[in-house]
Homo-oligomer: A and B are copies of this chain.
Amino acid sequence: MPEAASVTRATIGDSEFDRDTAVTRREPGVYDIDLSAGWTIINAVNGGYLLAVLGRALADALPHADPFTISAHYLTASQPGPAVIRTDVVRTGRTLSTGQASLFQYDEEGAEVERIRVLASYGDLDSLPDDVRTAAKPPVFPPMDECFGPEDGPAPVDGSSAITDRLMLKLDPSTLGWALGAPSGKGEMRSWFGLADGRDADPLSLLLAVDALPPTAFEIGLKGWVPTVELTVHVRCRPAPGPLRVSITTRNLAGGFLEEDAEVWDSADRLVAQSRQLARVRLG
């Protein structure tokens, strides 16, 4: 495909993702951002995009740049538009720094309404020793050209999902039963993952990657929104260039809540991020 090869790929620092997560420092520790409408999924602003926005503010506020572990509690639904992030440096250390951040938007009277609060510990991924002892194996994926993305069929979910234009998603067909009206009943979803403009992954975009697939709930046979209550991401390694493989799994749905675990693998077969979220489901 000579045409595709001639397209200029976006780079880390100069891409849709970087522009849409960029924050402007209003004063020390306080950042403004206009949340982009480009990362909505079923009309809600994607929780992974929001986490990356908060992650970028904390990377500026803390002396370390890479999120090692970040926990977010989602309070109220964010909307595209203006927001302010207030950060608090909890502790700075040689290896790790811990910070807190809250994202606020504005109600009709202009009062701040808190959307998300996060607690995170940051470090420097490049300073870590190379030692790896792992029992984790990359998930088995079909080649990318045997997987399917939103562009390969009619949208199986109602509502605008602008995020699909920003992402390169190619889903393993064995986890796509829901899109054909025949969910497998297994709480699994697997997809190749990249940014549509070709920007490679970095620790901040991993915060998006863990929450960007269709929810496992669809393969369990549930429909509709599965709002996140809490999402914790561990970034374990700086990702190598090239597409990522993301595997998400739900084992236990009980009492109207489910956990969704994500693993992200890079092109060098390293486990670069792990996450778990608690989400609410609407049964029926």
Contact = CB atoms under 8 A, between A and B. Distances in A.
A135 B186 contact: yes
Contact of A90 (B75, B131, B251, B252): B75
Interface string A231-275: 010101100000000000011111111010000000000110010
Interface size bracket, A side: 35 or more
Given A73-B98, A98-B117, A100-B117, A259 B283 contact: no
Contact of A236 (B76, B131, B252): B252
A250 to B, nearest CB: 8
A1 interface: no
Contacts of A120: 73
A276 interface: yes
B90 A117 contact: yes
Contacts of A255: 125, 128-132, 236-237
A220 to B, nearest CB: 6
A144 interface: no
Each complex incorporates copies of this chain amounting to 2
A6 interface: no
B117 A119 contact: yes
A15 interface: no
A23 to B, nearest CB: 21
B69 A132 contact: no
A68 interface: yes
A136 interface: yes
A131 B278 contact: no
A47 interface: no
B114 A253 contact: no
A91 interface: yes
Given A68-B278, A75-B90, A75-B91, A254 B236 contact: yes
Given A232-B276, A251-B271, 18 more contacts: A68-B278, A69-B230, A75-B91, A75-B98, A76-B91, A90-B114, A100-B117, A118-B119, A131-B254, A133-B253, A133-B254, A135-B186, A136-B251, A232-B232, A234-B259, A234-B276, A252-B274, A254-B270
